[in-house]
Amino acid sequence: MSTEIKIEFKPQGFAECLQGLSGQVQSVAEGIASRATGYLTTGGGFHVEMTNAPRYQDSAYGVSRPVAYVMASDEESIKEEAENKILSKAVLG
């Protein structure tokens, strides 16, 4: 015997759940930034910038989620990233 279950999507509740993961998102990004900085031969390294931004269908519901960006701290780090793909190495291990 089967039972039919109807699930109502509550975008505000989903966004609230995602906001609860903000610390975890930042922690993972900090790890990537730290590994990438370790690969540098010159430069000041990488840092994390956090923001909230709509992704996928978020804007249709007027919600956003935490997003972390790993950014180069100086021109030397930008150059090393462009030439040696340091961030890719940091993500892939």
CA–CA separation, 75 and 10 (whole Å): 44
What average pLDDT does the segment 2-12 reach?
92
CA distances (Å), origin 13, targets 19, 23, 72, 79 = 10, 18, 34, 42
Give dist(CA 69, CA 33) in Å, integer: 9
- Asked, for residue 4, whether it belongs to a domain, the answer is no
Q: 36 pLDDT band (50/70/90 cuts)? A: very high
Q: Is residue 63 part of a domain?
A: yes
Please say if the pLDDT value at position 89 is more than 80.
Answer: yes
Residue 6 in domain: no
Q: Which domain holds residue 72?
A: 11-92
Over 90: is that where the pLDDT of 93 sits?
A: no
The structural domain count of the chain equals 1
Please provide the distance, in angstroms rounded to a whole number, between the alpha carbons at the two ends of the chain. Answer: 49
Say what the pTM is: 0.83
What confidence score (pLDDT) does residue 43 get?
81
| 3 within domain boundaries | no
Q: Quick check: is 25 in a domain?
A: yes
Mean pLDDT within 26-45: 93
Predicted confidence (pLDDT) at residue 26 exceeds the cutoff of 90? yes
Report the mean per-residue pLDDT for the chain: 93
